Amino acid sequence: MRPLGVRVDDWLKDSDEVGPSWLTVDLAIFTVRDDQLMVLLVERGLEPFYGMPAMPGGYVQKNETLREGALRELAEEAGIDGSRLHLEQLGTYADPGRDPRGRVVTVAYLALGPDLPAPVGGTDATRAFWAPVAHVEDGRLGLAFDHRAILTEALEEVRRKLEYTAAATAFCGETFTLTDLRTVYQVIWGQQLDPSNFRRKVLNTTGFVQPTGEQWLPPTGRPAALYRRGQAWLLNPPLMRAETPGQQS
Amino acid sequence: MRPLGVRVDDWLKDSDEVGPSWLTVDLAIFTVRDDQLMVLLVERGLEPFYGMPAMPGGYVQKNETLREGALRELAEEAGIDGSRLHLEQLGTYADPGRDPRGRVVTVAYLALGPDLPAPVGGTDATRAFWAPVAHVEDGRLGLAFDHRAILTEALEEVRRKLEYTAAATAFCGETFTLTDLRTVYQVIWGQQLDPSNFRRKVLNTTGFVQPTGEQWLPPTGRPAALYRRGQAWLLNPPLMRAETPGQQS
DNA sequence: CGCACTTATGGTCGCATCAACCATAACTGT
DNA sequence: ACAGTTATGGTTGATGCGACCATAAGTGCG
Protein backbone atom coordinates (compact mmCIF):
# COMPACT_ATOMS: atom_id res chain seq x y z
CA MET A 1 0.00 0.00 0.00
CA ARG A 2 2.83 2.39 -0.79
CA PRO A 3 3.29 4.26 -4.03
CA LEU A 4 5.97 1.95 -5.26
CA GLY A 5 5.77 0.83 -8.82
CA VAL A 6 5.34 4.38 -9.99
CA ARG A 7 7.78 5.68 -12.55
CA VAL A 8 7.94 9.13 -13.98
CA ASP A 9 9.97 9.32 -17.16
CA ASP A 10 11.36 12.52 -18.50
CA TRP A 11 8.53 14.49 -17.07
CA LEU A 12 10.34 17.67 -16.32
CA LYS A 13 13.92 18.77 -16.61
CA ASP A 14 14.13 19.09 -12.83
CA SER A 15 11.94 16.09 -12.31
CA ASP A 16 14.02 14.62 -9.53
CA GLU A 17 12.39 17.10 -7.25
CA VAL A 18 8.83 16.63 -8.45
CA GLY A 19 6.78 13.49 -8.09
CA PRO A 20 3.22 12.40 -8.67
CA SER A 21 0.63 12.84 -5.98
CA TRP A 22 -2.73 11.35 -5.21
CA LEU A 23 -5.81 13.47 -4.97
CA THR A 24 -8.53 12.95 -2.42
CA VAL A 25 -11.48 14.88 -1.07
CA ASP A 26 -12.64 14.92 2.53
CA LEU A 27 -15.95 16.28 3.71
CA ALA A 28 -16.78 18.12 6.89
CA ILE A 29 -20.55 17.73 6.99
CA PHE A 30 -22.43 19.50 9.73
CA THR A 31 -25.97 19.40 10.92
CA VAL A 32 -27.88 20.54 13.97
CA ARG A 33 -29.63 17.80 15.86
CA ASP A 34 -30.86 17.64 19.45
CA ASP A 35 -29.60 21.17 20.10
CA GLN A 36 -26.06 20.13 19.25
CA LEU A 37 -23.79 20.74 16.30
CA MET A 38 -22.96 17.37 14.81
CA VAL A 39 -20.37 16.26 12.29
CA LEU A 40 -20.61 13.21 10.08
CA LEU A 41 -17.87 10.64 10.66
CA VAL A 42 -17.14 7.19 9.33
CA GLU A 43 -15.21 4.34 10.85
CA ARG A 44 -12.40 3.57 8.48
CA GLY A 45 -12.60 0.19 6.75
CA LEU A 46 -9.10 0.32 5.23
CA GLU A 47 -5.56 0.87 6.34
CA PRO A 48 -4.10 3.19 7.40
CA PHE A 49 -5.96 4.15 10.55
CA TYR A 50 -8.19 1.06 10.21
CA GLY A 51 -11.15 1.29 12.54
CA MET A 52 -10.57 4.88 13.54
CA PRO A 53 -13.16 7.62 13.02
CA ALA A 54 -12.50 9.95 10.09
CA MET A 55 -14.33 12.41 7.96
CA PRO A 56 -15.85 10.78 4.88
CA GLY A 57 -13.78 11.08 1.74
CA GLY A 58 -11.67 9.25 -0.76
CA TYR A 59 -9.86 9.35 -4.06
CA VAL A 60 -10.99 11.60 -6.87
CA GLN A 61 -11.43 9.64 -10.07
CA LYS A 62 -9.76 10.45 -13.36
CA ASN A 63 -12.54 12.31 -15.07
CA GLU A 64 -14.25 13.86 -12.10
CA THR A 65 -14.28 17.41 -10.87
CA LEU A 66 -13.56 17.87 -7.20
CA ARG A 67 -17.20 18.60 -6.50
CA GLU A 68 -18.35 15.48 -8.31
CA GLY A 69 -15.88 13.40 -6.33
CA ALA A 70 -17.12 14.87 -3.09
CA LEU A 71 -20.73 14.09 -3.93
CA ARG A 72 -19.87 10.55 -4.99
CA GLU A 73 -17.91 9.82 -1.82
CA LEU A 74 -20.74 11.20 0.23
CA ALA A 75 -23.18 8.84 -1.44
CA GLU A 76 -20.85 5.83 -1.26
CA GLU A 77 -19.68 6.23 2.30
CA ALA A 78 -22.74 7.57 4.01
CA GLY A 79 -25.62 7.00 1.63
CA ILE A 80 -26.41 10.71 1.54
CA ASP A 81 -27.57 12.56 -1.54
CA GLY A 82 -25.59 15.75 -1.31
CA SER A 83 -27.07 17.54 -4.29
CA ARG A 84 -29.37 19.50 -2.02
CA LEU A 85 -26.70 20.46 0.52
CA HIS A 86 -24.67 23.61 0.53
CA LEU A 87 -21.21 22.43 -0.51
CA GLU A 88 -18.18 24.66 -0.48
CA GLN A 89 -14.42 24.27 -0.73
CA LEU A 90 -12.66 24.84 2.55
CA GLY A 91 -8.95 24.32 1.95
CA THR A 92 -6.31 21.96 0.71
CA TYR A 93 -3.91 19.97 2.85
CA ALA A 94 -0.80 18.56 1.29
CA ASP A 95 1.98 18.56 3.86
CA PRO A 96 4.48 15.82 3.10
CA GLY A 97 3.97 13.26 5.82
CA ARG A 98 0.30 13.92 6.46
CA ASP A 99 -0.45 10.51 4.95
CA PRO A 100 1.89 7.54 5.49
CA ARG A 101 1.26 6.33 1.94
CA GLY A 102 3.06 9.21 0.28
CA ARG A 103 2.09 12.55 -1.15
CA VAL A 104 -1.66 12.53 -0.76
CA VAL A 105 -3.29 15.88 -1.40
CA THR A 106 -6.70 16.31 0.10
CA VAL A 107 -9.19 19.01 -0.69
CA ALA A 108 -11.51 19.57 2.24
CA TYR A 109 -15.12 20.46 1.56
CA LEU A 110 -17.55 22.02 3.94
CA ALA A 111 -21.18 20.93 3.77
CA LEU A 112 -24.16 22.14 5.74
CA GLY A 113 -27.44 20.31 5.82
CA PRO A 114 -30.71 20.03 7.69
CA ASP A 115 -31.26 17.22 10.13
CA LEU A 116 -30.47 14.40 7.75
CA PRO A 117 -31.59 10.79 7.78
CA ALA A 118 -29.48 8.45 9.88
CA PRO A 119 -26.50 7.64 7.66
CA VAL A 120 -25.67 4.10 6.63
CA GLY A 121 -22.25 2.56 6.11
CA GLY A 122 -21.01 1.96 2.60
CA THR A 123 -18.17 0.16 0.92
CA ASP A 124 -15.05 1.82 2.26
CA ALA A 125 -16.43 2.71 5.63
CA THR A 126 -17.85 0.14 7.92
CA ARG A 127 -20.03 2.59 9.78
CA ALA A 128 -21.19 6.17 9.41
CA PHE A 129 -22.56 8.19 12.29
CA TRP A 130 -23.21 11.68 13.60
CA ALA A 131 -20.86 12.80 16.37
CA PRO A 132 -21.22 15.97 18.46
CA VAL A 133 -18.42 18.31 17.48
CA ALA A 134 -17.89 18.98 21.17
CA HIS A 135 -16.61 15.41 21.54
CA VAL A 136 -13.99 16.03 18.90
CA GLU A 137 -13.07 19.49 20.12
CA ASP A 138 -12.35 18.37 23.66
CA GLY A 139 -10.37 15.37 22.47
CA ARG A 140 -12.77 12.68 23.70
CA LEU A 141 -12.89 11.44 20.11
CA GLY A 142 -9.70 11.06 18.10
CA LEU A 143 -9.67 11.27 14.32
CA ALA A 144 -7.49 9.74 11.63
CA PHE A 145 -4.87 11.67 9.63
CA ASP A 146 -4.94 15.42 10.24
CA HIS A 147 -8.72 15.41 10.33
CA ARG A 148 -8.91 17.07 13.69
CA ALA A 149 -7.04 20.10 12.41
CA ILE A 150 -9.25 20.21 9.34
CA LEU A 151 -12.34 20.02 11.49
CA THR A 152 -11.13 22.87 13.66
CA GLU A 153 -10.71 25.10 10.64
CA ALA A 154 -14.09 24.01 9.33
CA LEU A 155 -15.71 25.03 12.59
CA GLU A 156 -14.18 28.47 12.55
CA GLU A 157 -15.41 28.88 9.02
CA VAL A 158 -18.95 27.83 9.91
CA ARG A 159 -19.13 30.24 12.83
CA ARG A 160 -17.89 33.10 10.70
CA LYS A 161 -20.18 32.21 7.84
CA LEU A 162 -23.22 32.50 10.07
CA GLU A 163 -22.35 36.14 10.62
CA TYR A 164 -21.78 37.23 7.08
CA THR A 165 -23.94 34.92 4.98
CA ALA A 166 -27.30 33.21 5.02
CA ALA A 167 -25.56 29.90 5.74
CA ALA A 168 -27.81 29.26 8.72
CA THR A 169 -30.71 28.57 6.38
CA ALA A 170 -28.76 25.60 5.01
CA PHE A 171 -29.23 23.90 8.38
CA CYS A 172 -33.00 24.24 8.15
CA GLY A 173 -35.39 22.32 5.98
CA GLU A 174 -37.24 23.67 2.99
CA THR A 175 -39.43 25.77 5.22
CA PHE A 176 -38.75 26.81 8.79
CA THR A 177 -39.86 29.13 11.52
CA LEU A 178 -37.77 31.98 12.82
CA THR A 179 -37.34 30.02 16.02
CA ASP A 180 -35.80 27.17 14.04
CA LEU A 181 -33.38 29.62 12.48
CA ARG A 182 -32.59 31.23 15.80
CA THR A 183 -31.88 27.85 17.33
CA VAL A 184 -29.21 27.25 14.69
CA TYR A 185 -27.41 30.43 15.71
CA GLN A 186 -27.76 29.64 19.39
CA VAL A 187 -26.37 26.15 19.03
CA ILE A 188 -23.44 27.10 16.84
CA TRP A 189 -22.51 30.24 18.70
CA GLY A 190 -23.31 28.81 22.09
CA GLN A 191 -25.19 31.85 23.28
CA GLN A 192 -28.81 32.86 23.74
CA LEU A 193 -30.37 35.41 21.42
CA ASP A 194 -33.39 37.57 22.12
CA PRO A 195 -36.27 36.27 19.98
CA SER A 196 -37.70 39.69 19.35
CA ASN A 197 -34.47 41.35 18.29
CA PHE A 198 -33.45 38.37 16.22
CA ARG A 199 -36.73 38.54 14.38
CA ARG A 200 -36.33 42.22 13.60
CA LYS A 201 -32.79 41.81 12.29
CA VAL A 202 -33.62 38.87 10.06
CA LEU A 203 -36.73 40.45 8.59
CA ASN A 204 -34.99 43.77 8.01
CA THR A 205 -32.18 42.11 6.05
CA THR A 206 -33.53 42.08 2.53
CA GLY A 207 -33.48 38.72 0.82
CA PHE A 208 -32.53 36.69 3.88
CA VAL A 209 -35.86 34.89 4.30
CA GLN A 210 -39.14 34.94 2.46
CA PRO A 211 -42.54 34.26 4.05
CA THR A 212 -44.49 31.34 2.66
CA GLY A 213 -47.80 32.46 4.10
CA GLU A 214 -48.22 29.15 5.85
CA GLN A 215 -48.12 28.43 9.55
CA TRP A 216 -46.70 25.77 11.76
CA LEU A 217 -48.58 24.58 14.83
CA PRO A 218 -46.22 23.71 17.63
CA PRO A 219 -47.28 21.18 20.29
CA THR A 220 -47.82 24.12 22.59
CA GLY A 221 -47.84 27.86 22.14
CA ARG A 222 -48.82 30.30 19.46
CA PRO A 223 -48.52 29.19 15.82
CA ALA A 224 -45.46 30.46 14.00
CA ALA A 225 -45.18 31.76 10.45
CA LEU A 226 -43.16 29.66 8.03
CA TYR A 227 -40.40 31.03 5.84
CA ARG A 228 -38.12 29.75 3.14
CA ARG A 229 -34.68 31.04 2.33
CA GLY A 230 -34.46 34.18 0.23
CA GLN A 231 -32.26 34.84 -2.76
CA ALA A 232 -29.54 36.70 -0.85
CA TRP A 233 -26.42 34.88 0.30
CA LEU A 234 -24.25 37.73 1.57
CA LEU A 235 -25.92 39.55 4.43
CA ASN A 236 -25.52 43.21 4.91
CA PRO A 237 -25.43 44.32 7.47
CA PRO A 238 -23.98 41.11 8.93
CA LEU A 239 -25.64 39.44 11.88
CA MET A 240 -22.89 39.94 14.40
CA ARG A 241 -22.68 37.90 17.54
CA ALA A 242 -22.00 39.78 20.74
CA GLU A 243 -18.30 39.71 21.43
CA THR A 244 -17.67 37.32 24.26
CA PRO A 245 -15.89 39.32 26.96
CA GLY A 246 -12.24 38.45 27.28
CA GLN A 247 -11.71 37.59 23.65
CA GLN A 248 -8.59 39.02 22.16
CA SER A 249 -7.29 39.50 18.63
CA MET B 1 4.98 16.53 -22.45
CA ARG B 2 2.18 14.14 -21.62
CA PRO B 3 2.00 11.93 -18.57
CA LEU B 4 2.95 8.86 -20.48
CA GLY B 5 5.40 6.49 -18.94
CA VAL B 6 3.51 6.45 -15.68
CA ARG B 7 2.44 3.13 -14.30
CA VAL B 8 0.39 2.52 -11.21
CA ASP B 9 0.59 -1.06 -9.95
CA ASP B 10 -1.90 -2.54 -7.61
CA TRP B 11 -2.53 0.80 -6.09
CA LEU B 12 -6.18 0.45 -5.29
CA LYS B 13 -8.73 -2.19 -6.02
CA ASP B 14 -10.63 0.18 -8.25
CA SER B 15 -7.47 1.78 -9.53
CA ASP B 16 -8.62 1.94 -13.12
CA GLU B 17 -10.60 4.97 -12.09
CA VAL B 18 -7.86 6.69 -10.12
CA GLY B 19 -4.64 8.08 -11.53
CA PRO B 20 -1.73 10.17 -10.34
CA SER B 21 -1.89 13.90 -10.53
CA TRP B 22 0.64 16.70 -10.53
CA LEU B 23 0.57 19.39 -7.92
CA THR B 24 1.25 23.03 -8.62
CA VAL B 25 0.78 26.35 -6.87
CA ASP B 26 -0.20 29.60 -8.51
CA LEU B 27 0.01 32.98 -6.86
CA ALA B 28 -2.30 35.96 -7.18
CA ILE B 29 -0.11 38.73 -5.83
CA PHE B 30 -1.62 42.17 -5.49
CA THR B 31 -0.22 45.54 -4.70
CA VAL B 32 -1.39 49.12 -4.94
CA ARG B 33 0.73 51.35 -7.12
CA ASP B 34 -0.06 54.63 -8.84
CA ASP B 35 -3.60 54.56 -7.46
CA GLN B 36 -4.31 51.28 -9.19
CA LEU B 37 -4.66 47.72 -8.02
CA MET B 38 -1.96 45.69 -9.73
CA VAL B 39 -1.39 41.97 -10.09
CA LEU B 40 1.93 40.28 -10.69
CA LEU B 41 2.15 38.36 -13.94
CA VAL B 42 4.89 36.51 -15.77
CA GLU B 43 5.33 35.75 -19.42
CA ARG B 44 5.47 32.01 -19.75
CA GLY B 45 8.80 30.58 -20.86
CA LEU B 46 7.55 27.02 -21.38
CA GLU B 47 4.83 25.22 -23.24
CA PRO B 48 1.89 25.16 -22.99
CA PHE B 49 0.81 28.76 -23.45
CA TYR B 50 4.38 29.76 -24.29
CA GLY B 51 4.75 33.54 -24.25
CA MET B 52 1.36 34.22 -22.74
CA PRO B 53 0.91 36.10 -19.46
CA ALA B 54 0.12 33.95 -16.43
CA MET B 55 0.17 34.18 -12.71
CA PRO B 56 3.50 33.02 -11.27
CA GLY B 57 3.55 29.44 -10.09
CA GLY B 58 4.89 25.99 -10.71
CA TYR B 59 5.30 22.48 -9.47
CA VAL B 60 5.46 21.69 -5.77
CA GLN B 61 8.52 19.64 -4.95
CA LYS B 62 8.49 16.33 -3.16
CA ASN B 63 9.31 17.43 0.32
CA GLU B 64 7.77 20.86 0.34
CA THR B 65 4.65 22.15 1.97
CA LEU B 66 2.33 24.15 -0.26
CA ARG B 67 3.40 27.36 1.39
CA GLU B 68 7.07 26.60 0.91
CA GLY B 69 6.45 25.86 -2.74
CA ALA B 70 4.60 29.12 -3.17
CA LEU B 71 7.43 31.10 -1.62
CA ARG B 72 10.04 29.32 -3.71
CA GLU B 73 8.19 29.94 -6.97
CA LEU B 74 7.75 33.54 -6.04
CA ALA B 75 11.47 33.94 -5.55
CA GLU B 76 12.39 31.97 -8.67
CA GLU B 77 9.97 33.55 -11.08
CA ALA B 78 9.85 37.10 -9.87
CA GLY B 79 12.77 37.55 -7.53
CA ILE B 80 10.49 38.52 -4.67
CA ASP B 81 11.04 37.53 -1.07
CA GLY B 82 7.56 36.62 0.05
CA SER B 83 8.32 35.92 3.67
CA ARG B 84 7.08 39.38 4.61
CA LEU B 85 3.87 39.22 2.57
CA HIS B 86 0.49 38.14 3.79
CA LEU B 87 0.03 34.78 2.10
CA GLU B 88 -3.21 32.85 2.22
CA GLN B 89 -4.75 29.90 0.47
CA LEU B 90 -7.51 30.85 -1.90
CA GLY B 91 -8.80 27.67 -3.51
CA THR B 92 -7.88 24.60 -5.48
CA TYR B 93 -8.59 24.04 -9.14
CA ALA B 94 -8.51 20.53 -10.49
CA ASP B 95 -11.09 20.20 -13.26
CA PRO B 96 -10.04 17.53 -15.73
CA GLY B 97 -9.05 19.38 -18.85
CA ARG B 98 -7.92 22.59 -17.20
CA ASP B 99 -4.36 21.71 -18.23
CA PRO B 100 -3.61 20.00 -21.54
CA ARG B 101 -0.85 17.92 -19.94
CA GLY B 102 -3.20 15.84 -17.82
CA ARG B 103 -4.50 16.02 -14.29
CA VAL B 104 -2.72 19.03 -12.90
CA VAL B 105 -4.06 20.22 -9.57
CA THR B 106 -3.25 23.78 -8.71
CA VAL B 107 -3.60 25.42 -5.34
CA ALA B 108 -4.09 29.15 -5.73
CA TYR B 109 -2.57 31.45 -3.16
CA LEU B 110 -3.50 35.02 -2.47
CA ALA B 111 -0.75 37.43 -1.49
CA LEU B 112 -0.95 41.08 -0.57
CA GLY B 113 2.07 43.31 -0.37
CA PRO B 114 3.18 46.92 -0.23
CA ASP B 115 4.48 48.61 -3.33
CA LEU B 116 7.18 46.10 -4.13
CA PRO B 117 10.41 46.47 -6.07
CA ALA B 118 10.11 46.05 -9.80
CA PRO B 119 10.15 42.29 -10.34
CA VAL B 120 12.76 40.57 -12.44
CA GLY B 121 12.34 37.54 -14.64
CA GLY B 122 13.65 34.20 -13.48
CA THR B 123 14.23 30.77 -14.91
CA ASP B 124 10.80 29.58 -16.01
CA ALA B 125 9.42 32.95 -16.84
CA THR B 126 11.06 35.22 -19.30
CA ARG B 127 9.58 38.36 -17.82
CA ALA B 128 7.72 39.39 -14.70
CA PHE B 129 5.70 42.59 -14.49
CA TRP B 130 2.89 44.36 -12.70
CA ALA B 131 -0.35 44.64 -14.63
CA PRO B 132 -3.39 46.69 -13.64
CA VAL B 133 -6.18 44.29 -12.72
CA ALA B 134 -8.53 46.45 -14.75
CA HIS B 135 -6.74 45.32 -17.89
CA VAL B 136 -7.40 41.70 -17.05
CA GLU B 137 -10.95 42.27 -15.89
CA ASP B 138 -12.05 43.97 -19.08
CA GLY B 139 -10.35 41.36 -21.25
CA ARG B 140 -7.65 43.60 -22.71
CA LEU B 141 -5.10 41.15 -21.30
CA GLY B 142 -5.63 37.39 -21.74
CA LEU B 143 -4.15 34.87 -19.35
CA ALA B 144 -3.00 31.28 -19.71
CA PHE B 145 -4.90 28.26 -18.36
CA ASP B 146 -7.91 29.18 -16.20
CA HIS B 147 -5.98 32.00 -14.60
CA ARG B 148 -8.55 34.61 -15.46
CA ALA B 149 -11.21 32.74 -13.48
CA ILE B 150 -8.80 32.32 -10.59
CA LEU B 151 -7.99 36.01 -10.65
CA THR B 152 -11.66 36.92 -10.60
CA GLU B 153 -12.21 34.87 -7.48
CA ALA B 154 -9.09 36.35 -5.92
CA LEU B 155 -10.41 39.83 -6.51
CA GLU B 156 -13.74 39.11 -4.88
CA GLU B 157 -11.88 37.70 -1.92
CA VAL B 158 -9.65 40.76 -1.60
CA ARG B 159 -12.60 43.15 -1.70
CA ARG B 160 -14.44 41.17 0.94
CA LYS B 161 -11.35 40.82 3.10
CA LEU B 162 -10.96 44.56 3.28
CA GLU B 163 -14.33 44.75 4.97
CA TYR B 164 -13.92 42.09 7.59
CA THR B 165 -10.19 41.97 8.26
CA ALA B 166 -7.20 44.25 8.59
CA ALA B 167 -5.95 43.06 5.20
CA ALA B 168 -5.60 46.62 3.97
CA THR B 169 -2.58 47.09 6.22
CA ALA B 170 -0.80 44.39 4.21
CA PHE B 171 -0.75 46.77 1.25
CA CYS B 172 1.03 49.41 3.30
CA GLY B 173 4.63 49.47 4.40
CA GLU B 174 5.87 48.95 7.91
CA THR B 175 4.50 52.33 8.96
CA PHE B 176 1.85 54.34 7.17
CA THR B 177 -0.46 57.30 7.56
CA LEU B 178 -4.22 57.00 7.73
CA THR B 179 -4.37 58.58 4.32
CA ASP B 180 -2.21 55.79 2.94
CA LEU B 181 -4.60 53.27 4.42
CA ARG B 182 -7.63 55.12 3.14
CA THR B 183 -6.16 55.22 -0.33
CA VAL B 184 -5.96 51.43 -0.33
CA TYR B 185 -9.67 51.19 0.36
CA GLN B 186 -10.50 53.80 -2.23
CA VAL B 187 -8.49 52.12 -4.93
CA ILE B 188 -9.76 48.62 -4.28
CA TRP B 189 -13.39 49.57 -3.73
CA GLY B 190 -13.36 52.26 -6.37
CA GLN B 191 -15.14 54.81 -4.24
CA GLN B 192 -14.22 57.90 -2.23
CA LEU B 193 -14.28 57.79 1.55
CA ASP B 194 -14.62 60.72 3.89
CA PRO B 195 -11.23 61.24 5.59
CA SER B 196 -12.75 62.29 8.87
CA ASN B 197 -15.21 59.43 9.18
CA PHE B 198 -12.64 56.91 8.02
CA ARG B 199 -10.29 58.10 10.69
CA ARG B 200 -12.88 57.75 13.41
CA LYS B 201 -13.86 54.23 12.37
CA VAL B 202 -10.30 52.96 12.12
CA LEU B 203 -9.20 54.44 15.43
CA ASN B 204 -12.32 53.17 17.22
CA THR B 205 -11.70 49.61 16.03
CA THR B 206 -9.48 48.23 18.74
CA GLY B 207 -6.28 46.62 17.53
CA PHE B 208 -6.58 47.74 13.92
CA VAL B 209 -3.72 50.23 13.95
CA GLN B 210 -1.27 51.38 16.56
CA PRO B 211 0.34 54.85 16.66
CA THR B 212 4.11 54.97 16.43
CA GLY B 213 4.38 58.50 17.79
CA GLU B 214 6.30 59.59 14.72
CA GLN B 215 5.20 61.91 11.97
CA TRP B 216 5.49 62.04 8.26
CA LEU B 217 6.03 65.32 6.46
CA PRO B 218 4.25 65.42 3.14
CA PRO B 219 5.55 67.68 0.36
CA THR B 220 2.68 69.98 1.17
CA GLY B 221 0.10 70.12 3.91
CA ARG B 222 -0.03 69.33 7.59
CA PRO B 223 2.17 66.50 8.88
CA ALA B 224 0.41 63.20 9.45
CA ALA B 225 0.82 60.77 12.33
CA LEU B 226 2.35 57.41 11.48
CA TYR B 227 0.85 54.09 12.48
CA ARG B 228 1.77 50.46 12.24
CA ARG B 229 -0.63 47.56 12.07
CA GLY B 230 -2.19 46.40 15.32
CA GLN B 231 -2.52 42.86 16.57
CA ALA B 232 -6.12 42.38 15.44
CA TRP B 233 -6.87 40.65 12.16
CA LEU B 234 -10.63 40.27 12.33
CA LEU B 235 -12.36 43.62 12.55
CA ASN B 236 -15.46 44.11 14.52
CA PRO B 237 -17.43 45.90 13.65
CA PRO B 238 -16.44 45.43 10.02
CA LEU B 239 -15.60 48.42 7.87
CA MET B 240 -18.51 48.15 5.47
CA ARG B 241 -18.46 49.86 2.15
CA ALA B 242 -21.57 51.73 1.13
CA GLU B 243 -23.76 49.43 -0.92
CA THR B 244 -23.52 50.49 -4.52
CA PRO B 245 -27.11 51.20 -5.60
CA GLY B 246 -28.52 48.62 -7.97
CA GLN B 247 -26.58 45.66 -6.59
CA GLN B 248 -28.61 42.53 -6.15
CA SER B 249 -28.05 39.05 -4.78
C1' DC C 1 5.74 88.78 7.44
C1' DG C 2 1.07 87.93 5.55
C1' DC C 3 -1.38 85.13 2.54
C1' DA C 4 -3.18 81.42 -0.37
C1' DC C 5 -2.98 76.53 -0.70
C1' DT C 6 -2.94 71.89 0.91
C1' DT C 7 -3.61 68.12 3.92
C1' DA C 8 -4.57 66.22 8.68
C1' DT C 9 -7.32 66.24 12.49
C1' DG C 10 -11.35 67.21 15.41
C1' DG C 11 -16.25 68.25 16.34
C1' DT C 12 -21.43 68.70 15.56
C1' DC C 13 -25.96 67.17 14.33
C1' DG C 14 -29.62 64.42 12.63
C1' DC C 15 -30.78 59.84 11.53
C1' DA C 16 -30.62 54.88 11.72
C1' DT C 17 -29.69 50.88 14.38
C1' DC C 18 -29.52 48.04 18.33
C1' DA C 19 -30.02 45.70 22.83
C1' DA C 20 -32.77 45.36 26.78
C1' DC C 21 -37.18 45.12 28.13
C1' DC C 22 -42.26 45.12 28.28
C1' DA C 23 -46.78 43.95 26.22
C1' DT C 24 -49.92 41.36 23.60
C1' DA C 25 -51.57 37.50 20.64
C1' DA C 26 -52.76 32.84 19.88
C1' DC C 27 -52.47 28.38 20.73
C1' DT C 28 -52.65 23.93 24.39
C1' DG C 29 -54.18 21.39 28.33
C1' DT C 30 -56.74 21.20 32.77
C1' DA D 1 -61.93 30.29 32.72
C1' DC D 2 -57.28 30.03 33.53
C1' DA D 3 -52.36 28.94 33.65
C1' DG D 4 -48.63 27.73 30.66
C1' DT D 5 -46.11 28.41 26.46
C1' DT D 6 -44.48 30.36 22.37
C1' DA D 7 -44.70 33.98 18.65
C1' DT D 8 -44.98 38.55 17.55
C1' DG D 9 -44.96 43.62 18.18
C1' DG D 10 -43.60 48.01 20.36
C1' DT D 11 -40.83 51.35 23.38
C1' DT D 12 -36.76 53.51 24.94
C1' DG D 13 -32.14 54.96 25.91
C1' DA D 14 -27.59 54.51 24.09
C1' DT D 15 -24.57 53.97 20.40
C1' DG D 16 -22.78 54.42 15.66
C1' DC D 17 -22.51 56.55 11.38
C1' DG D 18 -22.71 59.75 7.35
C1' DA D 19 -22.76 64.49 5.85
C1' DC D 20 -20.80 68.52 6.82
C1' DC D 21 -18.15 72.27 9.05
C1' DA D 22 -14.06 74.07 11.63
C1' DT D 23 -9.44 74.25 12.93
C1' DA D 24 -4.42 72.97 12.90
C1' DA D 25 -0.02 72.81 10.81
C1' DG D 26 2.77 72.43 7.30
C1' DT D 27 4.40 74.50 2.20
C1' DG D 28 5.57 78.12 -1.21
C1' DC D 29 5.15 82.88 -2.80
C1' DG D 30 4.69 87.98 -2.98
Count Cβ atoms within 10 A of the Cβ of residue B221 and give its class: 0-12 exposed, 13-18 middle, 19 or more buried: exposed
Strand B209-216 and strand B224-229: pairing? antiparallel
Asked whether the beta carbons of residue B18 and residue A103 sit closer than 8 angstroms, the reply is no
Q: What is the mean pLDDT of chain B?
A: 88
Q: Collect all residues with Cβ–Cβ distance below 8 Å to B10 and sequence separation of at least 6.
A: A5
Helix axes B195-204 and B178-189, enclosed angle (nearest 10): 110
Q: Which of A34-43, A73-82, B4-13, B221-230 has the lowest mean pLDDT?
A: B4-13
Say what the pTM is. 0.89
User: Average of pLDDT values for A60-80?
Assistant: 91
Q: State pLDDT tens for residues A163-197.
A: 999 999 999 999 999 999 999 999 999 999 999 99
Q: How far is B118 from chain A (nearest CA, A)?
A: 27
Q: Collect all residues with Cβ–Cβ distance below 8 Å to B249 and sequence separation of at least 6.
A: A207, A231, A232, A233, A234
> Taking the CB of residue A182, how many other CB atoms lie within 10 A of it?
18
Say whether pLDDT at A124 is over 90: no
Residue B6 pLDDT level (bands cut at 50, 70, 90):
very low
For strand D, which nucleotides have at least one atom less than 7 Å from a protein CB? 4-10, 16-22, 24-28
pLDDT score for A203: 97
Radius of gyration for the alpha carbons in chain B, expressed in angstroms and rounded: 21
Q: Does B240 lie at the interface with A, CB-CB under 8 angstroms?
A: yes
pLDDT score for A116: 75
What span, in angstroms and rounded, lies between the C-alpha atoms of B227 and B176? Answer: 5
Q: Does A237 lie at the interface with B, CB-CB under 8 angstroms?
A: yes
Q: State pLDDT tens for residues A34-66.
A: 999 999 999 988 888 999 999 999 999 999 999
Q: How far is B35 from chain A (nearest CA, A)?
A: 28
How does DSSP classify residue A192? -
What span, in angstroms and rounded, lies between the C-alpha atoms of B218 and B211? Answer: 18
What span, in angstroms and rounded, lies between the C-alpha atoms of A105 and A119? Answer: 26
pLDDT score for B118: 66
Q: Does B242 lie at the interface with A, CB-CB under 8 angstroms?
A: no
Interface of B with A in 5-34 (CB under 8 A): 5-12, 17-23
Q: What is the mean pLDDT of chain A?
A: 88
Say whether pLDDT at B64 is over 70: yes
Strand A104-112 and strand A22-33: pairing? parallel
